[in-house]
């Protein structure tokens, strides 16, 4: 076992006055299976790039190993897969890569195929297999699940669970629980490293947050009581001082003969002053304790959704709809009624996104069968990809004619800072780009939501916000999603292709 030390790490991007990391220190072990979590834009990918020495930084990173990043950049996607593997690891032995691919349930025939003919899931598995054959390398695995179906995620999770020496960025709770033994968390005010899987970390955080909220409430109550007492003591002190100068009706209380007992008044004033100092000290101590609380609590306002009511109970119907490219894909027959939250499930390449595009009426999608869709039906769509996003946020708002105040309010609830509203969309993290698409959808007046893998790259806290939104407002929707926990909570009907 060896350790990687991060000491006083400080980093900000050129031209930015906001630090991504400010004097951060921690250590991790090279044999850990480390899950890396934190809200979008907090610096997870940036930190891995710093480990790879891609940017200059202040502080020190001391590592007894080399780092490798997933996804690995493939320079020639037209090359045969075996040559791509050789480019990733020139020292790999054939039996090594065959063993790794077998563990990942990848047909060995892919080695003799051009790399660009592989599915996204096959590419993910192949890359992981090649990287794990490298000696004395610590893997930095950034979002491997986005191109994997449910079964593929289970296979890769089992594979990673039998490995060690990696940092894994993922927002899929089920996936993280299956393959990590420590969690590295970028919080609002610090970075922490804890033992356990994601659910254990999240439960501990929830307990700590609840404790801090309770302590904060107690301290606020006690501070308020002390403030009231302090004001009362200050009032009495003023009255005593007035009595001392013979200007108060309280004189008689401090004189038995009608003459002022200035010694007694002085003694009472000193006692009052001591009591005031004690209250002040107690007040400052409580204020200091209170200032240490709530720094890492993630404040999440509830999202809202208003869906238009359709005049008919049935919004949409598909009869034997089969998308036909080079060869027919799976056939789909189903109806969408009010309140349905329909998950379209299937393996990679089964045609889930193609069915959605056929429903949307995209001309490039050839299909057979019948789609019954009322021309008055209004659909709000969230696409799987975000590559079309560019320009400024203001351009996006104008282009899609959304209510600017509502749109930005939703983004603020999804952990956007106001400063981000003036940053080009191309500078957003992938999770932030996806949030832009979801915020737009929540602004649109529609009868039906169609969301294609909406949770790709989106952080866990925001996933839970979206879950709560859908469970509260129960919109009619069709969606494709591979997050098992999300699907279990949201789905009312599943269509398997």
- For residue range 387-416, list pLDDT tens digits in order: 899 999 999 999 999 999 999 999 999 999
**Among candidate residues 123, 190, 186, 188, the one with its CA nearest the CA of residue 152:** 123
Q: Which residues contact 17 (CB under 8 A, 6 or more apart)?
A: none
State the DSSP H helix or E strand holding residue 327, giving kind and residue range, or none if neither: none
- The pLDDT tens digits for 119-157 are 888 999 999 999 999 989 999 999 999 888 899 999 999
The fold of 314-496 is Rossmann fold (3.40.50)
Q: Note the CATH architecture for domain 3-197.
A: 3-Layer(aba) Sandwich (3.40)
pLDDT at 369 over 90: yes
| Domain parsing of the chain, residue ranges | 3-197, 206-291, 314-496
Report in angstroms the alpha-carbon separations of 458 from 96, 305, 371, 432: 34, 19, 32, 7
Lowest mean pLDDT among 58-67, 263-272, 322-331: 263-272
Between CA 471 and CA 27 the distance in angstroms is 40
pLDDT at 13 over 90: no
Is-same-fold flag (3-197; 314-496)?
Answer: yes
- Look at 296 and 269; give whichever has higher pLDDT: 296
pLDDT at 290 over 70: no
Residue 481: predicted pLDDT: 95
Give the N- to C-terminal CA distance of the chain in Å, as an integer: 46
* pTM assigned to the model: 0.78
């Amino acid at each position: 076992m060896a350790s990687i030390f991060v000491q006083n790490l400080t980093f900000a991007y050129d031209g930015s006055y906001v630090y991504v990391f400010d004097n951060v220190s921690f250590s991790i072990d090279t044999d850990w299976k480390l899950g890396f979590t934190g809200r979008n834009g907090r610096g997870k990918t940036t930190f891995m790039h710093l480990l790879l020495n891609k940017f200059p930084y202040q502080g020190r990173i001391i590592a007894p190993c080399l780092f490798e990043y997933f996804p690995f950049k493939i320079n020639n996607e037209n090359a045969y897969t075996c040559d791509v593997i050789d480019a990733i690891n020139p020292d790999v032995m054939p039996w090594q890569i065959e063993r790794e691919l077998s563990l990942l349930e990848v047909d060995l025939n892919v080695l003799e195929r051009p790399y660009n003919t592989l599915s996204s899931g096959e590419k993910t598995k192949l890359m992981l297999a090649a990287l794990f054959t490298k000696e004395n390398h610590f893997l930095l695995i950034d979002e491997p699940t986005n191109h994997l179906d449910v079964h593929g995620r289970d296979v890769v999770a089992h594979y990673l669970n039998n490995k060690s020496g990696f940092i894994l960025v993922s927002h899929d709770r089920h996936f993280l629980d299956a393959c990590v033994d420590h969690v590295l968390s970028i919080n609002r005010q610090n970075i922490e490293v804890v033992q356990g899987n994601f659910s254990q970390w999240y439960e501990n955080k929830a307990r700590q947050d609840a404790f801090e909220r309770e302590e904060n409430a107690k301290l606020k109550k006690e501070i308020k009581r002390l403030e009231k007492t302090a004001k009362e003591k200050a009032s009495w002190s003023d009255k005593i001082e007035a009595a001392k100068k013979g200007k108060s009706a309280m004189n008689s209380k401090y004189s038995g003969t009608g003459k002022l007992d200035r010694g007694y008044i002085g003694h009472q004033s000193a006692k009052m002053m001591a009591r005031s100092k004690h209250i002040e000290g107690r007040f400052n101590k409580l204020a200091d304790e209170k200032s240490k609380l709530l720094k890492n609590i993630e404040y999440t306002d509830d999202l809202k959704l208003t869906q238009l009511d359709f005049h008919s109970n049935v919004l949409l119907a598909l009869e034997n709809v089969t998308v036909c490219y080079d060869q027919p894909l799976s056939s789909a027959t189903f109806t969408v009624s009010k309140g349905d939250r329909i998950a379209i499930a299937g393996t990679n390449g089964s045609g889930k996104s193609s069915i959605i595009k056929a429903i949307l009426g995209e001309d490039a999608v050839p299909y057979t069968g019948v789609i019954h869709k009322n021309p008055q039906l209004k659909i709000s769509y969230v696409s799987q990809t975000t590559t079309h996003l560019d320009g400024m946020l203001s351009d996006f708002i104008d282009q899609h004619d959304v209510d600017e105040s509502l749109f930005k309010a939703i983004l603020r609830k999804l952990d956007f800072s106001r400063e981000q509203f003036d940053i080009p969309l191309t500078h957003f993290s992938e999770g932030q780009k996806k949030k832009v698409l979801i915020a737009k959808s929540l602004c649109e007046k529609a009868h039906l939501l169609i969301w294609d893998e909406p949770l790709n790259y989106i952080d866990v806290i925001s996933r839970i916000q979206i879950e709560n939104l859908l469970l509260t407002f129960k919109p009619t929707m069709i969606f494709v999603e591979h997050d098992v926990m999300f699907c279990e909570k949201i789905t009312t009907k599943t269509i398997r292709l």
